[in-house]
Amino acid sequence: MKFDELGLSAGIQQAFADAGYLTPTPVQSKTIPLVLQGKDVMVAAQTGTGKTASFVAPMLDLLSTSARRRSNQINALILVPTRELAIQVHQSIRDYAINSELRSAVVYGGVKINPQMMTLRGGVHLLVATPGRLLDLHQQNAVKFDQLSLLVLDEADRMLSLGFAHEMSQLLRILPSKRQTLLFSATLSTQVKTLAAQILKNPAEITLSPERIAAVKIDQWLAPVDKKRKTALLLALLAKKSGKQALVFVNTKNAADVLAKNLTKAGHSIAVIHGDKSQAVRLRNLNEFKTGKSQLLIGTDVASRGLDISNLPLVVNFDLPKVAEDYVHRIGRTGRASKTGEAISLVSADDYEKLRNIEQLLQELIRRESVAGFEPITTVPESQGVPSPRKPKKPKKPKKPKKSATNPSNTHNPGESPR
């Protein structure tokens, strides 16, 4: 299938061609026609599958024929969980709308609100927003929803796990009930399905690779280790990786700062992203990592969404995430588009419950590899009731034909009727 078969306008097709996109990804080929038909859609797709274009491109086409700008009004809204993802999605909008006269904007917390209020004063066709900042703007009459006809919830599972359920409920009560709604999520948890049932009307459901949630292009494995030896093991693994860049996840801001200090002492160039860093510092640190000035990027789950690093070979879970779904998003930073990647988790005995929840979500045990010299004193139990790691199937040897006892020349394979 090609982009010209999806029903997109010539302007969007040209924008894709200019960006070097030749053929749509599976999520794009399945989603775009449905959105153009005006249907509500629920999509379960991994990160790095091209899902942003699957909703941005048809939204731009729909808005180009119907949207009208009015003061403080918006025609379409994309809700996302983090600043980083908001910035990334808005950049995609700007790229795809290069041949359009539509006006877009992005709003998020952690920066001054007045410039955002000024941007919205003239009205925008398409707004990307985090829930908390959008509510603040609405309460100050800086944004109105009377003209809203399109709503997208991107990374819905992440918004729920980050505790945005209350803010989302408030927003959904304010937004017009007559609208087209699109919901995207890496995983379809019970919470996500409950939310979908509340906000979607007769949705088309698209699930990609339901038999395996984590991307198959990512080599996942875990190294059992005692908690106090995790830093030493990380240094040993990095030494084996011959200077590869790596994104390292921890669970708290303090842990990120402590690990950064220890790795800097060991001679590594470090960048850090977490909630206490200002937006300007986070963008600067991310840019240093993208340009190769920093070998390692250490982050909390703030970095598990919205970081689009095209050539990231390695993700390390120094700490396992507290929410199982976040594991999928963390490792989804590698193995993006057509590339492969590696995801290593450092797991100690007190990580067992988090590991069990992750493996139950994946419906398979993550492969374990002990690193010589770092074998734990306290073993990590295996999760119960979860399939073992998948092993490549060996090709079957062809069966030799059996000779008939009455006629040696009359041969056939078992299960076949003799001729």
Q: Which residues of 292-329 are buried (b: 16+ CB within 10 A; e: fewer)?
A: eebbbbbbbbbbbbbbbbeebbbbbbbbbbebbbbbbb
The phi-psi region of residue 123 (left if phi > 0; otherwise alpha if psi is between -120 and 50; otherwise beta) is left
The pLDDT assigned to 398 comes to 53
Q: Is the dihedral of CA 362, 205, 34, 127 positive or negative?
A: negative
**C-alpha dihedral sign at 61, 53, 285, 227:** positive
Q: pLDDT tens-digit profile of 116-154?
A: 999 999 999 999 999 999 999 999 999 999 999 999 999
Taking the CA atoms of 386, 387, 390 and 391 in sequence, report the sign of the dihedral they define. positive
- pLDDT of 176 reads 95
Tens-place pLDDT, residues 15-42:
888 877 878 888 999 999 999 999 999 9
Q: Could you give the CA distance from residue 301 to residue 85 in angstroms, rounded to a whole number? A: 12
pLDDT in tens, 187-233: 888 889 999 999 999 999 998 754 444 555 789 999 999 999 999 99
pLDDT of res. 213: 45
Task: Give the residue from 38, 309, 48, 356 showing the smallest Cα distance to 181.
Answer: 38
Residue 158: per-residue pLDDT: 85
Tell me the two tokens of residue 125: 């066709």
Nearest alpha-carbon partner for 181 in 189, 191, 190, 172: 172
State how far the alpha carbon of 259 is from the alpha carbons of 89, 220, 250, 320, 371, in Å.
30, 22, 9, 15, 20
- The residues, ordered by sequence, that sit 6+ positions from 10 with a Cβ below 8 Å of its Cβ are none
Domains of the chain: 3-207 (3.40.50.300), 218-368 (3.40.50.300)
- Residue 419's nearest CA partner among 398, 404, 399, 405 is 404
Helices (H), 140-243: 156-161, 165-174, 190-199, 230-240
> What stretch of H or E contains 326?
helix 324-331
pLDDT at 400: 54
Structure tokens at 347: 């797991």
Tell me the two tokens of residue 319. Answer: 């700490």
To 5 degrees, how large is the angle CA 370–CA 233–CA 285?
A: 130
**Nearest partner of 86 among 114, 105, 99, 61, judged by Cα:** 105
pLDDT values of the chain reduced to their tens digit, one per residue, 419 residues? 788 899 999 999 998 888 778 788 889 999 999 999 999 999 988 766 788 999 999 999 999 987 788 899 999 999 999 888 899 899 999 999 988 899 999 999 988 999 999 999 999 999 999 999 999 999 999 999 999 999 999 999 888 877 888 999 999 999 999 999 999 998 888 889 999 999 999 999 998 754 444 555 789 999 999 999 999 999 999 999 877 889 999 999 999 999 999 999 999 999 998 877 777 787 788 888 888 889 999 988 876 555 667 678 899 999 999 888 788 888 888 876 667 889 999 999 999 999 999 998 888 899 999 999 999 999 999 887 777 665 544 545 555 555 444 444 343 343 333 33
Task: Check: CB of residue 31 under 8 Å from CB of residue 41.
Answer: yes
State pTM to two decimals: 0.67
